[in-house]
């Protein structure tokens, strides 16, 4: 039986279908979750997709944090369930305090929409375990509020504990220390701005590197099952 | 009826590109002696007539929703009803 990855649709989510397709192409079973679901239907992992949840009102991700499904996702994350947040999903994870830091307006104030070259800085997370050390990947970036910020002490701690997961090779938005993605302490919760789900087929994406994200979580889950 | 104003500002160490953009436009108005512009949000909250602990509740709202303490600071000011005050 293949692993079930739940993909949450908030009002205003855009990339939920692409995420579902990426999960399917990667060999897992996508499961649709709704923002006011109180249960997450025995999924093995959760993907918070990109988009503009609740119209980005107040701050990106600020309202989604209070949705029903996030209570359940938070509880599951605390138990070690793999949770990935992409773009708006990353913003939701930061607003929910599942990940440190925050994502603010791009330094140049422009919406950035182009492939981003990234270095995978650690394979010691549930969502990057299948990547070679320091692998370079290309995922499309498309965001107006993607500049990662945190105080210096937090950044130092992230670096020292190997929780910077993705780093931009050509920083598109002014993110501190070129950070494109980070993980929680346990490595089961990962957030990143660029979109692996748009890099799964040669026809439509700049690479197929995004499949490595799904392969990683599958490897992580099967390793857990063996233990 | 209690009215509360919450001002939310980006912390001083966080770059405010909107403020920078405004600053950059000022010379076009002929204003050349401005050192810095920072842009924030003003939120006006009106409580029900019988609401209790208005200031305390406003602080909870500001701290947990209106501002993200990672990047923003806030001030809360309770405005007295002009009739009541008189």
The domain segmentation of chain B, as residue ranges, is: 3-85
Half-sphere exposure of A195 (CA within 13 A, CB side): 30
For residue A100, give the chain B residue with the closest CA.
B70
Q: What are the DSSP calls for A36-102, one per residue? A: T-S--TT-SEEEE--B-GGGG-SSTTTTGGGSHHHHHHHHHHHTT--EEEETHHHHHHHHTTSSSSE
DSSP assignment letter at A148: E
Residue ranges of domains in chain A, CATH in brackets: 4-226 (3.40.50.880)
Q: What confidence score (pLDDT) does residue B82 get?
A: 60
Which of B71, B72, B73, B74 to mutate: most A Cβ within 10 Å? B71
Q: For residues B42 and B7, is the Cβ–Cβ distance under 8 A?
A: yes
Question: Rounded to an integer, what distance in angstroms lies between the CA atom of residue B45 and that of residue B78?
Answer: 9
Phi, psi of A44 (to 5 degrees): -100, -15
DSSP assignment letter at B55: H
Question: Rounded to an integer, what distance in angstroms lies between the CA atom of residue B79 and that of residue B46?
Answer: 10
CB–CB of B17 and A106 under 8 A?
yes
pLDDT at B81 exceeding the cut of 70 = no
> How would you write the pLDDT of chain A (227 residues) with one tens digit per residue?
689 999 999 999 999 999 999 999 999 999 999 999 888 879 999 999 999 999 999 999 999 999 999 999 999 999 999 999 999 999 999 999 999 999 999 999 999 999 999 999 999 999 999 999 899 999 999 999 999 999 999 999 999 999 999 999 999 999 999 999 999 999 999 999 999 999 999 999 999 999 999 999 999 999 877 65
Which letter, b or e, does each residue of A159-191 get, where b requires 16 or more Cβ atoms within 10 Å of its Cβ?
eeeebbbbbbeebbbbbbebbbbbbbeebbbbb
pTM: 0.93
pLDDT in tens, B25-75: 999 999 999 999 999 999 999 999 999 999 999 999 999 999 999 999 999
Which letter, b or e, does each residue of B25-37 get, where b requires 16 or more Cβ atoms within 10 Å of its Cβ?
eeeeeeeeeeeee
CB–CB of A66 and B71 under 8 A?
no
Tokens representing A88 are 């708006």
Which of B13, B17, B68 lies nearest to residue A102, judging by beta carbons? Answer: B68
Q: For residues A64 and A39, is the Cβ–Cβ distance under 8 A?
A: no
Global ipTM: 0.83
CB–CB of A109 and B17 under 8 A?
yes
Which letter, b or e, does each residue of A38-60 get, where b requires 16 or more Cβ atoms within 10 Å of its Cβ?
eebeebbbbbbbbbbbbebebbb
Question: Is residue A60 annotated as part of the catalytic site, yes or no?
Answer: no
For residue A110, give the chain B residue with the closest CA.
B17
Which of A62, A94, A104 to mutate: most B Cβ within 10 Å? A104
Question: Rounded to an integer, what distance in angstroms lies between the CA atom of residue A88 and that of residue A192?
Answer: 9
pLDDT in tens, A95-104: 999 999 999 9
Rg (CA), chain B: 17
Nearest to A28 by CA among A189, A222, A196: A222
Q: In chain A, what residues touch B24 (CB-CB under 8 Å)?
A: none
Q: For residue B83, name the pLDDT band (cuts at 50, 70, 90).
A: low
Question: Is residue A97 annotated as part of the catalytic site, yes or no?
Answer: no
Q: Could you identify the residue written with the tokens 């001083």?
A: B12
Which of A60, A63, A66, A102 to mutate: most B Cβ within 10 Å? A102
Nearest to A144 by CA among A115, A104, A174: A104
For residue B21, give the chain A residue with the closest CA.
A109
Q: For residue B84, name the pLDDT band (cuts at 50, 70, 90).
A: low
Nearest to A54 by CA among A97, A90, A11: A11
DSSP assignment letter at B81: P
Q: Which one from A87, A143, A145, A198 is the annotated catalytic residue? A: A87
Question: Is 1.20.120.1730 the CATH classification of the domain at B3-85?
Answer: no
């Amino acid at each position: 039986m293949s692993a079930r990855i739940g993909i949450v649709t908030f009002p205003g989510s855009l990339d939920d279908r692409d995420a579902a397709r990426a999960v399917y192409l990667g060999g897992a079973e996508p499961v649709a979750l709704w923002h006011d679901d109180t249960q997450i239907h025995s999924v093995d992992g959760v993907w918070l997709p990109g988009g503009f949840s609740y119209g980005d009102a107040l701050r990106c991700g600020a309202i989604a944090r209070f949705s029903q499904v996030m209570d359940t996702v938070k509880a599951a994350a605390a138990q070690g369930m793999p949770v990935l947040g992409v773009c708006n999903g990353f913003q939701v994870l930061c607003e929910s305090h599942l990940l440190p830091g925050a994502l603010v307006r791009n330094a140049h104030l422009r919406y950035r929409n182009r492939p981003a070259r990234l270095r995978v800085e650690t394979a010691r997370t549930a969502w990057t375990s299948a990547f070679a050390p320091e692998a370079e990947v290309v995922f499309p970036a498309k965001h107006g509020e993607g500049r990662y910020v945190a105080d210096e002490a937090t950044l130092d701690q992230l670096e020292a504990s190997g929780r910077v997961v993705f780093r931009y090779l050509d920083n598109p938005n002014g993110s501190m220390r070129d950070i494109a993605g980070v993980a929680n302490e346990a490595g089961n919760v990962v957030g990143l701005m660029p979109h692996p789900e748009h890099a799964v087929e040669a026809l439509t994406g700049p690479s197929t590197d995004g499949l490595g994200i799904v392969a990683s979580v599958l490897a992580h889950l099967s390793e857990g099952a063996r233990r | 009826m209690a009215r509360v104003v919450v001002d939310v500002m980006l912390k001083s160490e966080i770059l405010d590109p909107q403020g920078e953009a405004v600053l950059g436009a000022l010379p076009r108005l002929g204003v050349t002696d401005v050192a810095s512009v920072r842009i924030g949000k003003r939120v006006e909250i009106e409580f029900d007539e019988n609401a209790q602990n208005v200031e305390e509740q406003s602080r909870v709202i500001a701290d947990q929703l209106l501002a993200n303490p990672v990047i923003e600071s806030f001030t809360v000011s309770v405005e007295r009803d002009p009739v009541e005050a008189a």
